[in-house]
Structure 1
Amino acid sequence: MSVEKPTGPRSIALVGPYSSGKTTLLESLLSMCGETDRKGSVENGTSVGDYAREARDRKMSVEVNTAHFSFMGDRFSVLDCPGSVEFLQECENALIGVDAAVLVCDPEPDKVITVAPVLKFLEDRHIPTFVFVNKVDKARGSVQDLFRALEEVSNRDLVLRQVPIVQDGTVTGYVDLASERSYVYKEGAKSRIIEMPPEIAEEEGTSRFAMLETLADFDDHLMEELLEDIEPDKDEVYGLLQQDLQQGFLVPVFMGSALADHGIFRLLKALRHEVPAAAETAQRTGMDKAGEAPVAQVLKTYISPQGGKMSLARVWSGVFRDGETYSAGRIAGIYRLQGVKQEKLAEAVPGDIVAFGRLEDLHTGDLLHNGTEVEASRVAPLEPVYHYALYSENRDEDVKLSAVLNKMAEEDPSLVPEHKQETQELLLKGQGEIHLKVALERIQSKYGLAVQSKRPKVAYKEAIRKGTKQHARFRKQSGGHGQFGDVQIEIEPLPRGGGFEFHERVVGGSVPRQFIPAVESGVKDYLVEGPLGFPVVDVAVTLFDGQHHSVDSSENSFRSAARIAMSEGMPKCSPVLLEPIHKVELAMPSLYTSKVTGIVSSRRGQILGFDAREGWPGWDVLTAMMPEEELHDLIIDLRSATLGVGTFRCSYDHLQELTGHIADKVVQAHGG
């Protein structure tokens, strides 16, 4: 099989869990390819990526960072994606526009589960994926144990491409299973070829045969060669490795140390020969239907008060030129980004990832085109799992705050601003505590707004357990016409979810027809805040009698009389507090199900059942009913118990009576 190397500009994403070393790997790639004079450091805040202050303060990526390099004549764009699950939306948005992904993982088998969320996304989107086992020089377990752990979380076949050479308990080099050459690591340079150590020959043979067996599952000719004990040609092996990666059958596993530049040159060679060409990716994603017409898709939106809007986009087809007008307007600059630095370009071609300037009507996920009808492959926004109530320190800036939140949500679609009518609070919802703290810092640093946050209020309600009849009269004399209204009402509880009903059975005109709507309005006025201090629900009120005065009665007087009747009658109806209950679905690896069950129980949850998580081998879904009060920081405990990968979704289900000391505390805190 002849191996045809892909050509043209290509793109890769660096993905993986927090602290796996993606940004350090980017620094190593840039340094080895001569794109930087000296290798930057995440620890020292000198990296090309993670240039934002919020990222450097935390020493972690909080948004997609873009860079580029050339290796042996091939040009690559790199999207360094955040590893924290709280910034997963950034990662998923970026991945729809790359030719391949490099999944960076820790060498410890016990931590492999942390790659599951992003690995599942890569599988579902059929994105060609390389695994780079980082920090292998500090590994405590065996590579085979790690490989088996990776197999348990992958729905695609893994192929180990290298066997480590271990000396005195430290990995000092590797044997490449495709070429059967042995290398020893050299600090800051490509590895040096050596004779294969005799002690590793048996392991190399076993691992190479396992690799060939996996390749043979997808190729009959290789299967025949193996059955006949024929050694396959190396070009055939390389060709199958390239073909099976591009078709999504296999995930090759490499290893090294980004900090020490170990294994980086071998990874670069694999990227050069095996990452699909831009045309192949366009075909995989269905974006080839545009033909030669210019089509690009926005992967990330950046907005700054000074520089305006920048749309980071993948060019799927055609040529985009600076200054020309397309579907979303006129392009005001095309830029290749190298971290914070911008290189102005005259045009962008298929395979490029560039930033377009000042296209105000273009949003993340949108297509930029010249009228070509192509359907974009989009990423659904993640459901929020944590939220704050926000308020401006200067109340005059509330309108400005709303506008700023909308801009931030455009940059990061997993940030959801919402005005909650029930509690009259402005909420900011997101993917976790760090996610929202970063957002608050940016509100201050980018837009100069002083904002405070607090735990959101729970929308408690109240109802009654029994009914009563109540008479009330409103009389006021202030010179001239007075005010007079007299009502007799019956208050009754409704079944849960019954809402509010108003009836009248007045006979003989004791309350004239024109005043009856005013009585209903007075009742509703009171129901905004019942005896316990909360909105009243599930109650029926009937006006059955009253009195009026031919001169002094008015709508206002009957409205006031109704309010008095409700305020005197409702406390006699055994008011009870109601709390909102949500149906919650929690997803976690089966290994942690018992821990999660304990968390749910400790938060007054009622467990409804368990099931396997569809499409996620080794994962469970626990369904429960939980009070809204207990959901605020549930995600913190859930992630703490599951190495950060557990998640949940919830929806309002019903109101439920709350009694005892918890209800007393709620009422007391509310001032009722």
Structure 2
Amino acid sequence: MTSSDGPKGGNGNQSTRAGVRGARCVALVGPFASGKTTLLEAILARTGSISRAGSITQNSTVGDNSPEAREHAMSVGLNVADAAFLGENFTFIDCPGSVEFAHEGTLALPACDMAVVVCEADPKRVSALQVILKQLDDAGVPHIVFLNKIDTSPIPVHDVIPSLQPASAKPLVLRQMPIWENGIATGFVDLASERAYVYREHASSKIIELPSAIEAREKEARFQMLEKLADYDDELMEQLLADIPPPNDRVFDDLSKELRDGLICPVLIGSAEHGHGILRLLKALRHECPTVEDTAKRLNLDGLKSAAYVFKSVHTKSGGKLSYTRVFAGEIADGATVTGRSGHEQRVAGIFTIRGEEAIKRGPAKAGETVALGRLDSIHSGETIAVGKTAIAQLRVPEAPQPALAIGLGLKDRKDEVKLSSAVAKLIDEDPSLMLEHNAEMHQILLHGQGEMHLRVALERLLRKYGIEVVREKRRVGYKETIRSSTEVRGRHKKQSGGHGQFGDVKLDIKPLPRSGGITFSETITGGAIPRNFIPSVEIGVRDYLTEGPLGFPVVDVAVTLTDGSFHSVDSSDMAFRQAGRLAMTEGLPKCNPVLLEPIMAVSIAVPSESNARINGIISQRRGQILGFDARPDWPGWDLIQAHIPEAEMDNLIIDLRSATAGVGSFTFGFDHLSEVSGRLKDQVLAASRAAAE
């Protein structure tokens, strides 16, 4: 047999021609290093969108062509490109696999009709796959699995599927089985059509006779596929029970319907690097991918005259801001007025086709198409927009995850201080999982992100795009101090230098308060010992001192009572009594047995259950206290570990956590309480504080 398994697909010109249906949008998602960007290259090459597939190692891919992606040899942002296949148009969104950049993919999912989950046939990556599949299930996005690198898989596919099934809430339905010769995957059998194919390097597979050696295994695999389909089709179940072979058309219809209804997750196989399985994947997408109308209905956007969703913002050096947008209803033309969440009207200044980092000007965008809209400065990622002056209901989009790591930003050039906030605001507009904090108490500017690489890339972009070079600083810990004992103390401020002098005299009672008692100030002045108009100034002086106590840190949980004092009818003033209050605290607080306090965070750690022992060790090494374990709701095989960990030990926790869980562990945290620090650790903290002050 010499016939191929179908035409090669469209050429570059087809992308400008209306397809049979509106253009579809497909997300390529999957764990880190699973081959998504390579798969995008293979798709673009097979459809004729590019002349040949690029290589990541040679820095020649359409996707991952930013300097940061090239430098680190990984996806650090979305890659978007159009392709046409058999007269139908598709936009592919290649989402980063690293959890540190995953929020970009999360924001893109509402724009997509379906997703292709790219993964390896490796049971060790089940937890990473589960994170992806759970996200798709929560978003309601239909999806198929593409088992990549099948040519190098050491495990038979029929053994891989049961090991991967725990990662999916839906049945994994194997649609293809590989043909092996001498340990090499030379082709595959399509279980729906019962046709066998032999792979050809970067070309269409060739139909061959079904090898007799695998006939029995093929029949068994096909029956298992049909059994899973029959769980949702009574007629098919009756045919199987009666041993009546179902027509192939019926099998394809069932596969398509049950995928779109979110009942199953079909599994295809191939090798993106060698172009194997790409045509079969494209044909599956052409026949089974939901239409834009289907997706609009799923998102409750059907029936609207105009609706579009912005999933990515990019600030270019010369062209201003671009908003990557999927149109669900109506048409958006250049110059059109659109309205987003805030109700502010924005005028579109240019419409562009996106290919990697290249933006090509084009005409109006119709329903189904994915484009970049120019200069929508007040529209942000995750917003639903419409043509006109009236805002429409917003899609529910997951919020950015809580930052997992923070670094201090010190400027090499002080003149960049004004530019810094504006530049970082643009970075955050592009990537909402970053956060900037001006911590007044710590006198530090903090950049929060999802991990070490996430923050490193942000700083590289800050330098490349805006010319701002920063010095990384360690995040400062919010130590406090309090007192254990009480004292009474007198503070007198007296100064005479010709003319009116200064005189203020106060007596204070200083006592400790229970933890979280705050700072209280009261007075029991009688007999006019101090005029009442000076009492607020005493309180100001007291609180001035408490911003930095005898150990050098802000003081908490102290009660101060003004009990007595004296004044001078001429020389007393607000400033004099403020100074008297501060002097009394300066003398009295060191006598109250001051102690150092450190903040303790309540941490909730989510990990696969088999990682618990390693996580317990990490918590103990960080002076943490484990409070308990619970099963993670709706996450089979995962646990939530509750713990208290000192803030000083939180730095790089996410790095150790991901290292112990193959990159999938995560945590949330919040301040819980202050705890006393003593002994050698206290001495180290105080010594470091004194050294920093010098």
* Range of TM-score over shorter length: over 0.9
Q: Is the 8 A contact 1:109 1:145 kept in 2?
A: no
Partner of 2:13: none
| Bigger Cα displacement from structure 2, 26-35 vs 357-366 | 357-366
Q: CA deviation at 1:69?
A: 0.7
Q: CA deviation at 1:341?
A: 2.5
Partner of 1:188: 202
| Bigger Cα displacement from structure 2, 113-122 vs 427-436 | 113-122
Is structure 2 residue 121 aligned with structure 1 residue 80?
no
Q: Is the 8 A contact 1:6 1:277 kept in 2?
A: no
1:120-150 per-position Cα deviation (integer Å, ceiling 9, x unaligned): 1101112111111111111112212321122
Is structure 2 residue 617 aligned with structure 1 residue 617?
no
1:42-87 per-position Cα deviation (integer Å, ceiling 9, x unaligned): 1111000011100011111111111011111111001011110001
Q: Is the 8 A contact 1:94 1:300 kept in 2?
A: yes
Counterpart code for 2:357: V
Partner of 1:243: 257
Decide which of 319, 325, 339 is 2:331's aligned counterpart: 319
Partner of 1:252: 266
Counterpart code for 2:598: E
* CA distance in 1 between partners of 2:461 and 2:392 (Å): 37
Q: CA deviation at 1:372?
A: 6.1
Q: Secondary structure of the residue that 1:117 maps to in structure 2?
A: helix
* CA distance in 1 between partners of 2:127 and 2:491 (Å): 67
Is structure 2 residue 580 aligned with structure 1 residue 580?
no
Q: Secondary structure of the residue that 2:303 maps to in structure 1?
A: helix
Equivalent runs, 1:522-537 vs 2, <5 Å: 522-537=541-556
* CA distance in 2 between partners of 1:418 and 1:246 (Å): 43
* CA distance in 1 between partners of 2:399 and 2:533 (Å): 53
Q: Is the 8 A contact 1:6 1:273 kept in 2?
A: no
Q: CA deviation at 1:601?
A: 1.5
Is structure 2 residue 469 aligned with structure 1 residue 455?
no
1:604-646 per-position Cα deviation (integer Å, ceiling 9, x unaligned): 1111111111111110000111111111210000000000000
Partner of 1:436: 455
Partner of 1:48: 62
1:158-193 per-position Cα deviation (integer Å, ceiling 9, x unaligned): 100111111111211111110111111111101111
Decide which of 310, 325, 333 is 2:322's aligned counterpart: 310
Q: Secondary structure of the residue that 1:148 maps to in structure 2?
A: helix
* CA distance in 1 between partners of 2:303 and 2:415 (Å): 51
Q: Unmatched 5+ residue regions in structure 1?
A: none
Partner of 1:630: 649
Partner of 2:3: none
* CA distance in 2 between partners of 1:326 and 1:612 (Å): 45
* CA distance in 2 between partners of 1:456 and 1:667 (Å): 16
Counterpart code for 2:489: Q
| Bigger Cα displacement from structure 2, 603-612 vs 421-430 | 421-430
Counterpart code for 1:548: F
* CA distance in 1 between partners of 2:346 and 2:591 (Å): 66
Return the TM-score normalized by structure 2.
0.94
* CA distance in 2 between partners of 1:204 and 1:15 (Å): 29
Decide which of 172, 178, 182 is 2:186's aligned counterpart: 172
* CA distance in 2 between partners of 1:305 and 1:190 (Å): 41
1:496-523 per-position Cα deviation (integer Å, ceiling 9, x unaligned): 0010111111222222222211111111
Q: Is the 8 A contact 1:322 1:345 kept in 2?
A: no
Q: Unmatched 5+ residue regions in structure 2?
A: 1-18, 340-344
Partner of 1:300: 312
Is structure 2 residue 211 aligned with structure 1 residue 197?
yes
Equivalent runs, 1:387-536 vs 2, <5 Å: 387-536=406-555
Is structure 2 residue 330 aligned with structure 1 residue 330?
no
Partner of 1:288: 302
Q: CA deviation at 1:391?
A: 2.4
Q: Is the 8 A contact 1:116 1:645 kept in 2?
A: no
Is structure 2 residue 385 aligned with structure 1 residue 368?
yes
* CA distance in 2 between partners of 1:256 and 1:130 (Å): 13
Partner of 1:261: 275
* CA distance in 1 between partners of 2:71 and 2:611 (Å): 32
* CA distance in 2 between partners of 1:580 and 1:138 (Å): 50
Q: Is the 8 A contact 1:6 1:275 kept in 2?
A: no
Counterpart code for 1:508: G
Partner of 1:38: 52
* CA distance in 2 between partners of 1:53 and 1:628 (Å): 35
Partner of 2:688: 669
Partner of 1:542: 561
* CA distance in 2 between partners of 1:117 and 1:391 (Å): 36
Distance 1:372 1:543, change over 3 A: closer
Is structure 2 residue 77 aligned with structure 1 residue 63?
yes
Counterpart code for 1:335: F
Q: Is the 8 A contact 2:22 2:369 kept in 1?
A: no
Matched residues, percent identical?
Answer: 50
RMSD of aligned C-alpha atoms? 1.3
Q: Is the 8 A contact 1:105 1:112 kept in 2?
A: no
Q: Is the 8 A contact 1:586 1:646 kept in 2?
A: yes
Counterpart code for 1:340: E
Is structure 2 residue 366 aligned with structure 1 residue 354?
no
Partner of 1:159: 173
Partner of 2:362: 345
Distance 1:372 1:451, change over 3 A: closer
* CA distance in 2 between partners of 1:401 and 1:190 (Å): 52
Equivalent runs, 1:11-26 vs 2, <5 Å: 11-26=25-40
Q: Is the 8 A contact 2:385 2:391 kept in 1?
A: no
Partner of 1:125: 139
How many residue pairs match? The answer is: 666
Q: Is the 8 A contact 1:6 1:274 kept in 2?
A: no
